[in-house]
Structure 1
């Protein structure tokens, strides 16, 4: 059986030579550095790098094929983590960036390795002890989100990401275009949701422009045994925009036991002991001082955007670049993205 191209996407020899030349503080011996894919995720790839002294680092690179336009920009991730490193927002300390695709076949960057638990699926929800750690994980995540949205983009050198016009209009236009570049055969419900979102977005009060992570959830955070957030990862979708879009994304992904409507992601909060969605919303409103009365719109927008992102993931599987074809031909993925679109449509009055 051939190995997945995702596993072999970082050749150790060329990487070792680059590290020796560009990152002199990293101990590199005569043998190639150790490279191990960190499991989880269907987008940018993360690898654990082990140096000659046994030290651990983390490397991020794009996926190996079927990349949609404007996605997987390593320089964008690098800009955001270097800008936020001096702030109260916990990010992995940046180390070095490589724009030369000849080294490993794509641009990439290196950051310090942050020890912690990444709660990426329902089973991982049991990795925190019941009681305070589980509740803390959600509440502290909201505190970190509020801290991110309190950062002045201009003060940290990210002001050039500001664009004229409405953030929501740009997002709706971008994801609608990209979902129509996917291999999904039926986009009628996705299109119907898009139409309603465009109509309702025009009636929303204007928002302030802040740093929006774009995929803020426990699966992109490292937490300690106490549930406190140690680092925020995966900045590939970060931009300047509406902060409530981040909150809507978090709430849409925050499933609870007994929910009738599935979350966008089967995450750790489906396990007993985690905070309720209403607690997270109340906490964010308190810490940020923002009006959250229109949050239902942002949750519906999050579900629609999740369907669009799912279409891109489905396309990479269908194209054979995510480790081979799935047994059901991707039918489960198609059903999941259609369910999210249908739920969004119902929430918007469709």
Structure 2
């Protein structure tokens, strides 16, 4: 169900040294006092997120996962830099507080940011009428508004022009994600070769108006105002943000967007409340995005298929860690099953052109 996001006891094998963290934070933020208490947010599948409590102050710490990691993933300094650049110009990011890459403090780089208290939607909507059918539609529209605002942001003016190269972005994404899938494939999941070949053959040209793209924009990465669940107050998890084609960002987001008319198999892997009464359809979301940004979108089925494939790669990279015993998180064991379902969904898009 939905509530204020709560931290829990730290999972086995993912503990932090509270004394070292406290000493470091007191040096960087002298106003802090007392020992540090460490708890963990269990909902994420990638970087690990912890709640650090010191006296009356609560901070959030982000670090890479334990075990084998994708070569270019989990760059804490990059994510911290993005937050610092965006905070003055985009009101939906938490305040970054400190970054550390000292191995004497932790075995991996990490950063600390303010805790934004609010509601994060998970699989189901709350029982309370706060997000009934009319409000759910308003939330969807606001969700599109925030994404459109991000894509229209002057990324050069806020110092992020060198975050990524928009030239050749689409090709790099298709080839890069294809390589990641092949590198992470285990023998119990589909080979995805048909999907990868179709995406490669139908690549659209580079976008004429590149944008700052979040690359993981979905309901459980946004924070809602507890007093008004249609109001987005925060956007989290910027680890994959870059400069690129905003339609690929939208396609990636809608890869998670499972509807009431989707297959029963897709519904089995649903993690968000996008099929609940009042939620908009993928086609309605695309139409709203066109209206918000002024874009003319053609062949969105390609972008949606890429979003499904990209989601399968992310799931497979995580499942790889579970398959090879590099994580004790039991949630990861079902991700191989999800990869197979996503392959079927992507093939259906290829065959029907529907999204």
TM-score by length of 1: 0.89
Show the counterpart of 2:109: 107
Residues 276, 349 of structure 1: alpha-carbon distance in 2 compared, 3 angstrom cutoff: closer
Alpha-carbon spacing, 1:125–1:181, altered in 2? closer, same or farther (3 Å): farther
- Report the CA distance shift for 1:213/1:164 in structure 2 as closer, same or farther (over 3 A): closer
CA drift of 1:91 comes to 0.5
Deviation at 1:207, TM superposition (A): 3.9
**Structure 1 segments of 4+ aligned residues over 6 angstroms from their partners:** none
Q: Deviations over 1:74-123 (max 9, x none)?
A: 11211211111111341111111112233122111111111111113x23
Query: Which structure 1 segments of 5+ residues have no match?
Result: none
Whether 1:4 aligns to 2:12 is: yes
Determine which of 296, 299, 304 is the counterpart of 2:309. Answer: 304
Of 242, 246, 250, the match for 1:239: 242
Which of 130, 133, 147 lines up with 2:132 in the alignment? 130
- What secondary structure is seen at the aligned counterpart in 1 of 2:184? coil
Deviation at 1:126, TM superposition (A): 4.8
Structure 1 residues 89 and 141: CA distance shift in structure 2, 3 A: farther
Q: Pick one of 11, 25, 41 that aligns with 1:19.
A: 25
Distance 1:36 1:63, change over 3 A: same
1:250 alignment counterpart: 253
CA–CA separation in structure 2 for the residues paired with 1:341 and 1:157:
38
Match of 2:341 in 1: 339
Out of 35, 40, 61, the position equivalent to 1:37 is 40
> What is the CA-CA distance between 1:34 and the residue it aligns to?
1.3
- Does residue 157 of the first structure (1) align with residue 165 of the second (2)? no
Structure 1 counterpart of 2:328: 323
Counterpart position of 2:168: 166
- Shift, 1:223, TM fit: 0.8
2:3 paired residue number: none
Distance 1:198 1:89, change over 3 A: farther
Q: Deviations over 1:152-190 (max 9, x none)?
A: 221111111232632111111221222222152166541
Aligned residue for 2:119, secondary structure, equals: coil
Aligned match of 2:148: 146
Instruction: Verify: 1:119 aligned to 2:121, yes or no.
Output: yes
For the 8 Å contact 1:149–1:243, the answer to whether it is kept is yes
Paired residues, number: 338
State how far apart, in whole Å, the 2-side matches of 1:348 and 1:189 are. Answer: 16
Name the residue aligned to 2:223: 222
After TM superposition, give the deviation of residue 191 of structure 1 in Å: 2.0
Structure-2 residue corresponding to 1:271 = 276
Equivalent residue number for residue 72 of structure 1: 74
Gaps of at least 5 residues in structure 2 are: 1-9
Q: Distance in 2 between matches of 1:343 and 1:38?
A: 30
Q: Deviations over 1:259-315 (max 9, x none)?
A: 227267421113223233333222211111112222211100000111111111101
RMSD value, Cα: 2.3
Structure 1 counterpart SS, 2:339: helix
Distance 1:66 1:183, change over 3 A: farther
Residues 324 and 211 of structure 1, relative CA distance in 2, 3 Å threshold? closer
Name which of 72, 95, 98 aligns with 1:96: 98
Alpha-carbon distance in 2 for matches of 1:251, 1:216: 9
- CA 1:58–1:164: 2 relative to 1, 3 Å: closer
Pick aligned residue for 1:313 from 292, 296, 318: 318
